[in-house]
Chains A and B, each alone.
Chain A
């Protein structure tokens, strides 16, 4: 059981006071009693000596005392005590309490201790029980008489008188001491309260401090140890508050860093139980539920993550890098880097960092594909030129039936190569941003007219019907004139090439919100639906042979797309196989 300091202090104070009082009480009472008794004896002795003088004055010549009983009565009456006069032979001749008749019955007193003592020493004292008056009495006797002893005078007081006095004394001191005790209790209570109050207060403050409330400060200003303690507590409170604040800030910073990181982070303890997963990783691996306390495979449902975690924790290698492929929630390639957390040579856990490298890998593949494609596209016409030249040199130059066709092929393939190189360079410049486009307010009409002019010969050759639908007050667009011409030329060229003889091409330009939209429709062969999403990819050809035949490089639409996107526009296509295609793009108005 907890006993409060307050009560402890009170108990100690009161015990000390009680002990003092009890000792004091006994000392005082025994001392006073002894004093009283001595005082009484002294008084009795003086009275006895006075009575002796008086008796001696009453003695006649023959040294004899007449009417001793009445003298005894007088003395006893005056002194309010019992006086006995005893003759020198021990016969009682006078007594305050006895009449003459009774005196005769009293036995001889010569052997009484006080008388014997008076005979031997001249003064006798005795305390005894008197059967005569049935009380404890203090007897005192001296001999009297001129020249020789005539008898003895004895005075007696009941000891009960002394006891009464003692009792009264004890009562008074007892009451006084009780009062002192009461005051002591009150004072002790006050003192213990004064001492214990600040401690109680500080304990309460320490408790709320533990709960994180640092607003309370001890209101103790005494310049003693308790005051020091209060100040120390106050200082400690400030220090802890500051430290907690710093830790909190660190935590907030860490949370912010983890939350804003693009990379996924997972922290596990030494047993491989997840301590932390950041939002990026949650999104990356589609972890919706609370993952704390789970194993990596439980949380991520990806066994490779578990394998890597186990590997790090087992091998304690400084860094483990692996690439993993996941299929849920989407096809992704993740680079996982893991390091163990080792402090003081003990393994405390591991940190895993996940990078989503899906896009990186895709771009790498696109680049590789592109390199392979470029290689193929360049090598084929060169192979053709080289092969035909070799064949001609090897004697075919004399083969009259074929020589002209072979030279024609060399010419055609060198043109193809030249076009391809032009387009590749254009594309590379647009993509790398090295192609400086100068955006100026541009009128579409003259551009369209000049493009149609360039294609006029082919249009006429195929007997195509071309119509242009354009509002008269068409606003200017913000564009690079040369590149916009390239977009129109590429799209119109395609339309001409892929539209059979006597077909029609329709160009319509209209204002759509803050954009100008151009649609180039043809009644050509159209594009199969499965090819539509890939039609703007580099080197993507619906019909390779046909593209080759009409001199396409496979880059025209890709260039169109890049130019339009550079103008903050959009490009798209709608097509129906066998019925025609519509290529549309938008360019912002000025």
Chain B
């Protein structure tokens, strides 16, 4: 399945963010940059979707209703099918402990709100290019 993802031309990105305005912002910008975007607003739906589809990158908020972002990180990295998916954690929680914890559970990037949209796009571009190689 990973092979399938690698060979796909369109990169699939899942945006998990409970704030509708932010979700819309990220989705809009990613779409504009040519990515296929799935917008998810809570942890439970995210987990359901992840069980069904393979994504190249997951943009993940930590403070989510239902299941928090760290649990979803664990879910992605703990499952051999999805463990190749990159995770960009996007959160308002800026405590150093959260960053360390994020690293432990397997986040590839950690962006603190407020963030630069351009930076986010750059990170995702970089990650998907790595995948292409």
Given contacts A380-B113, A402-B28, contact A375 B94 (CB under 8 A): yes
Which of B24, B25, B28 gathers most chain A CB within 10 Å?
B25
Asked whether B7 is an interface residue with its Cβ less than 8 Å from the other chain, the reply is no
Given contacts A391-B29, A548-B20, contact A383 B92 (CB under 8 A): yes
In the assembled complex, the CB of B99 is this many whole angstroms from the nearest CB of chain A, namely 13
Residue in contact with B118 in the complex, picked from A390, A396, A548, CB distance below 8 Å: A390
In the assembled complex, the CB of A254 is this many whole angstroms from the nearest CB of chain B, namely 45
In the assembled complex, the CB of B25 is this many whole angstroms from the nearest CB of chain A, namely 4
Asked whether B117 is an interface residue with its Cβ less than 8 Å from the other chain, the reply is yes
Asked whether B122 is an interface residue with its Cβ less than 8 Å from the other chain, the reply is no
Residue in contact with A383 in the complex, picked from B18, B22, B42, B65, CB distance below 8 Å: B22
In the assembled complex, the CB of B118 is this many whole angstroms from the nearest CB of chain A, namely 7
- Cβ of A379 and Cβ of B114 under 8 Å apart? yes
Asked whether A40 is an interface residue with its Cβ less than 8 Å from the other chain, the reply is no
Which of chain A's residues 377-393 have a Cβ closer than 8 Å to chain B? 377-380, 382-388, 390-391
Residues of A within 8 A of B42 (CB): 545
Asked whether B101 is an interface residue with its Cβ less than 8 Å from the other chain, the reply is no
**B-contact bits for A359-381, CB 8 A (1 contact / 0 none):** 00000000000001001111110
The residue in chain B whose Cβ has the minimal distance to the Cβ of A408 is B21
* Bound CA–CA A549/B65 (angstroms): 15
Which of A387, A409, A545, A548 gathers most chain B CB within 10 Å?
A387
Given contacts A375-B93, A391-B29, A545-B65, contact A383 B41 (CB under 8 A): no
- Cβ of A394 and Cβ of B114 under 8 Å apart? no
- Cβ of B28 and Cβ of A391 under 8 Å apart? yes
In the assembled complex, the CB of B94 is this many whole angstroms from the nearest CB of chain A, namely 6
Residues of B within 8 A of A388 (CB): 21, 25
Which of B20, B95, B117 gathers most chain A CB within 10 Å?
B117
Asked whether A544 is an interface residue with its Cβ less than 8 Å from the other chain, the reply is yes
- Cβ of A391 and Cβ of B25 under 8 Å apart? yes
Given contacts A372-B93, A376-B93, A545-B41, contact A382 B25 (CB under 8 A): no
Interface size bucket, A side? Answer: 20 to 34
Residue in contact with A545 in the complex, picked from B18, B24, B112, CB distance below 8 Å: B18
Given contacts A375-B92, A386-B114, A391-B28, contact A545 B21 (CB under 8 A): no
Asked whether A91 is an interface residue with its Cβ less than 8 Å from the other chain, the reply is no
Main secondary structure of the interface of A (DSSP, over half): helix
* Bound CA–CA A102/B47 (angstroms): 174
Residue in contact with B21 in the complex, picked from A376, A378, A384, CB distance below 8 Å: A384
Asked whether B19 is an interface residue with its Cβ less than 8 Å from the other chain, the reply is yes
Given contacts A375-B93, A388-B25, A545-B65, contact A380 B118 (CB under 8 A): no
* Bound CA–CA A384/B117 (angstroms): 10
Residues of B within 8 A of A548 (CB): 19-20
- Cβ of A380 and Cβ of B19 under 8 Å apart? yes
Asked whether A33 is an interface residue with its Cβ less than 8 Å from the other chain, the reply is no
Which of A376, A383, A384 gathers most chain B CB within 10 Å?
A383
The residue in chain B whose Cβ has the minimal distance to the Cβ of A376 is B92
In the assembled complex, the CB of A555 is this many whole angstroms from the nearest CB of chain B, namely 16
Asked whether A412 is an interface residue with its Cβ less than 8 Å from the other chain, the reply is yes
In the assembled complex, the CB of B74 is this many whole angstroms from the nearest CB of chain A, namely 20
Residues of A within 8 A of B116 (CB): 386, 390
* Bound CA–CA A386/B112 (angstroms): 13
**A-contact bits for B27-69, CB 8 A (1 contact / 0 none):** 0110010000000011000000000000000000001010000
- Cβ of B22 and Cβ of A380 under 8 Å apart? yes
- Cβ of A387 and Cβ of B114 under 8 Å apart? yes
- Cβ of B22 and Cβ of A384 under 8 Å apart? yes
Residue in contact with B117 in the complex, picked from A391, A409, A549, CB distance below 8 Å: A391
Residues of B within 8 A of A386 (CB): 114-116
* Bound CA–CA A413/B91 (angstroms): 17
- Cβ of A382 and Cβ of B21 under 8 Å apart? no
Q: A387-B29, A402-B28 are in contact. List 6 more A-B contacts (CB 8 A).
A: A379-B114, A380-B92, A383-B114, A396-B28, A396-B32, A548-B20
Closest CB pairs A-B (n = 3) = A379-B92, A383-B113, A376-B92
A interface with B by C-beta (< 8 Å): 372, 375-380, 382-388, 390-391, 394, 396, 402, 409, 412-413, 543-545, 548-549
B interface with A by C-beta (< 8 Å): 18-22, 24-26, 28-29, 32, 41-42, 63, 65, 91-95, 112-118
